[in-house]
Amino acid sequence: MRSIRVETSGATVLLTEAPEPKVKDRQTGEIAKDAQSGEVLMRLGVVYIDGGESSLLQVTVPESGVTEGLALGSPVTLIGLIARPWETVFNGQQRHGIAFRAEAIAPAAISVGAGA
């Protein structure tokens, strides 16, 4: 399916859930890995605020893209964020959604306004 690049430069993104390994199979506890590199994938939660609206997003990031210094509730930068629509049939019911993936997450540089 098509991937859609998400423009984040005008948005505020706050970390709401610390990165943890993404589970591929809940029954076996198998951890998800990138299909190409074999690298462990991490799952984290953010609130994405743009244009007066906010959304809670679950984002997948490769383990090497998780930068030190992340703190819950603090502004972060999602580098190379993409959205990918998905759909599947599970137990006879069709399900669909949007998966978010970023190349990396880092603490956001906080700019200080003039005269501050």
In a domain, 77, yes or no: yes
Say whether pLDDT at 25 is over 90. no
10: alpha, beta or left, given left = phi > 0 and alpha = psi -120 to 50? alpha
| Domains contained in the chain, number | 1
- The mean per-residue pLDDT over the stretch 47-51 comes to 94
- H/E run at residue 51: none
Say whether pLDDT at 39 is over 80. yes
Say whether pLDDT at 116 is over 60. no
In a domain, 113, yes or no: no
Residue 21 in tokens: 């390994």
> What is the per-residue pLDDT for 19?
96
CATH number at residue 46: 2.40.50.390
Range of the domain at 79: 4-107
In a domain, 112, yes or no: no
In a domain, 116, yes or no: no
